[in-house]
Structure 1
Amino acid sequence: MNDVVIVLTYYSPYVSGLTNVARDVAEGLAARGWRVCVVTSKHDPALPTHDERNGVRIVRAPVLARVGKGTIGVNLTRMALREMRRARVANLHLPLIEGGLLSRLASVPVVATYHCDVTLPPGAINDLQRRAIDRASSGALRRSAAAVVSSEDYARHSRMWPAIRPTMVAIPPPCPPRSAGRPTYRDGDGFHVGFLGRLVEEKGVEHLVDAFRALDDPDSRLLIGGDHLHVAGGSVVDRIRRHAGDDPRITLLGFVPDEQLDDFYASIDAFALPSVNAFEAFGIVQVVAMRAGVPALVSDLPGVRTVVGTTGFGEVVPPGDVPELTASLRRLRDDPPDAAAGRAAADEHYDVEAVLDAYEAVLTKAADR
């Protein structure tokens, strides 16, 4: 018997914002005594079909094919429906191509967590894929007892707003605080800027590189951490390298493992999230940086901008605006905001236990209907 079945395309050990939200909610509920089952794709064939991690039972469906960032595997629908028959409530993490069918056939109430609109490069195949995913998301949202979003700001600007609005519940993602680390990534006493995330199109990292290179400061450093080898849809690491050129102040760290993240945040003076499109809906890493006492420089995108707006701990700039990025980097270098006050504001507004309380309330209310 399951209390809740969580369904999504990619789950841990895959790393993305969406995946991390689902993992933290699943493990957080399990720690509170919920019986949690996650149904997901076997994105890596080496992973076991049946697994258990930190109190969460995981069922992985073999992948038949991949289309862009998504997977195709009819077994995911079958496995999810089987687990739902033994559950009180289901939580679908969207976008999920199977979401429409699952919500229609579900034998239990459904809560949908809508993370972001799908944004793909122009092209006939991509357009078909986007429309299919949007239809699936819209159907799942309309049939759900609640539509959980990371912020009302993002939801109102989403293509799914008409389907989200009737049952919207805004719950920020869980953003666990980091422990104190050692500044092992620092190279000198100069201004250190950090980025952490998948090196993909929507992150706009090349704009950050261009903005940093415009800083006339030989002692500054830019540390770029993020996976580029195992990224759904492909990486833009070669583009980033071209923009970085031979600037010795810029270092590509590759994937930064979890046990080194504390040291990464302890090594930087500002965190940058230069995203360029609506695929970025919140930016968990900016909150994690703030909770480590590091101000954030983020793009003026729905959802993403709300964290700096709420805490006052950082700068917001137009997406892809290199001169404004450079100017903001200078301001953060020359007149940094109060770290203690910024950390306190982030801790107050993005407490993990409060997020889990909200998820428990939404799932329990749906299950009791």
Structure 2
Amino acid sequence: MPGFLLCLTYHLPNVSGLTLSAHELARHLASRGHKLRVVAGRVPDTAPALETIDDVEVVRVRSLCRISKALVMPGYGLAVWRAMDGMAVVNVQLPCLDAGLVAVLAKLRGRKLIVSYISSMSKATIGARILRALAAVPHVAAGILADRIQVVSPDYAEASTFCRLFRRKIDFAPLPVHLHLLPGETHPPRRPRTADADRPFRIGYVGRVARQKSLGLLLAALPRIVELVGPHVVLDIVGPASDVIGESHWHEILEAANASGGRVRYCGSKSGMALARHYAELDVLVLPSTDRLESFGLVQVEAMLRRVPVVASDLPGMRLPIARTGMGRLFPAGDAAALAEAVAKVLADGPPCDPGPDEIERLFGNEAACTPYARLLAAGDGR
């Protein structure tokens, strides 16, 4: 079976939706009999230089420094060159400052190259704009040399200058979801209910506590939500905060939670069965992000698998799960009043549709998400 090399900036033990999704891609391909190897930055420095996780060999490279969230890794190219031994297909996931180097090395060694355009880079700050400019050349070089480019959706591609440059190479597939239904998990259809002091409505946010996630917008909408549905409402925030690389915004969010009198609760990071149980207890999940870095929102699918409706910003890529399933409502990005109205509507009436876990899995499961990679692997050994 041909081998597959996945190159990216961050991998486990770093926790983010995209890191977990990349590992799920590797794990799924490994389960199909392919040799899998990952090359990523060594974060934290105490992480092993070489480790096997879920039958995936992980090679970690030390960084010299960090520019915002990007790692400067002088040894990355050599590690990638060595890691290509026995590999037929190379995948580089953008954003990545080393994307152009990976692409050149892949072509020098005669490997097929698939670029995953995970997300556009943020323009929200001066630092983000500088990093975007630095990454432009290696990203375009990777696009030129790529055999195929994976993008989450047509509307996200149309909103991206990079994708418009390489239209003929693009395959559309959702990002692989890490938390599928676990053994023994069953969830009946949701019915609208009445909240009280003992069982308040539980609005959930799951993800990194980072500025790009626009949690401030959700906090701003909360008083209006209370006006619309009554006083028995709590907001649960789940995800990494103080250990999010390159972020300090979590201070503001946690201070707001502490000052809310229990209305907003920071629940820390959760994974596995603990996170699955948390999803199952929610009445609605909200994704308020307004940043172009958010391309899909993997947590939407994780929640929908457990029959939890979703309210999300009506943005390219992010709108895809709700648009395809009807299992929630979209609101104009950045509009706190519209967010509150959408949440209240879902709490009062439920989602417009509930296709059920089997249909969610068909639309967004591993078979759909990994198709572009499996197709390139099936083309041969890449030599």
Query: TM > 0.5 between the two?
Result: yes
Moved more, 250-259 or 3-12: 250-259
Q: Secondary structure at the match of 1:218?
A: coil
Aligned positions, number: 365
- Match of residue 232, structure 1, among 224, 241, 245: 245
- Show CA shifts across 1:45-66 (max 9, x none): 1111010011001110011101
Partner in structure 2 of residue 204 of structure 1: 214
Matches within 5 A, 1:157-172: 157-172=159-174
Supply the AA of the counterpart residue of 1:188.
Answer: D
Supply the AA of the counterpart residue of 2:271.
Answer: P
Partner in structure 2 of residue 54 of structure 1: 54
Q: Is the 8 A contact 2:285 2:309 kept in 1?
A: yes
How far apart are the structure 1 equivalents of 2:77 and 2:123?
24
- Show CA shifts across 1:76-132 (max 9, x none): 121012212432111111111011122123212211111011115432x54332111
Partner in structure 2 of residue 113 of structure 1: 116
Supply the AA of the counterpart residue of 1:212.
Answer: L
Partner in structure 2 of residue 138 of structure 1: 140
Partner in structure 2 of residue 252 of structure 1: 266
Matches within 5 A, 1:310-329: 310-329=324-343
- Show CA shifts across 1:215-235 (max 9, x none): 232211110111112112214
Partner in structure 1 of residue 192 of structure 2: none
Higher RCO (CA-CA < 8 Å; seq separation 6+):
2
What are the ranges of 5 or more consecutive residues in structure 2 without an aligned counterpart?
Answer: 188-195
Q: Cα–Cα, structure 1 residues 257 and 288, in superposed 2: closer, same or farther, change >3 Å?
A: closer
- Match of residue 152, structure 1, among 137, 151, 154: 154
Q: Secondary structure at the match of 1:254?
A: coil
Supply the AA of the counterpart residue of 2:200.
Answer: G
How far apart are the structure 1 equivalents of 2:358 and 2:72?
44
Supply the AA of the counterpart residue of 1:21.
Answer: S
* Shift, 1:199, TM fit: 0.7
How far apart are the structure 2 equivalents of 1:194 and 1:127?
31
How far apart are the structure 1 equivalents of 2:170 and 2:287?
26
Q: Secondary structure at the match of 2:181?
A: coil
Instruction: Indicate whether 1:353 and 2:367 are aligned.
Output: yes
- Match of residue 322, structure 2, among 294, 301, 308: 308
Q: Is the 8 A contact 1:218 1:249 kept in 2?
A: no
Q: Is the 8 A contact 1:295 1:342 kept in 2?
A: no
Moved more, 315-324 or 13-22: 13-22
Matches within 5 A, 1:117-132: 117-123=120-126, 126-132=128-134
How far apart are the structure 2 equivalents of 1:330 and 1:128?
40
Q: Cα–Cα, structure 1 residues 102 and 146, in superposed 2: closer, same or farther, change >3 Å?
A: same
Partner in structure 2 of residue 91 of structure 1: 91
Supply the AA of the counterpart residue of 1:54.
Answer: D
* Shift, 1:357, TM fit: 4.1
Give the root-mean-square deviation of aligned CA atoms: 2.2
Q: Is the 8 A contact 1:9 1:41 kept in 2?
A: yes
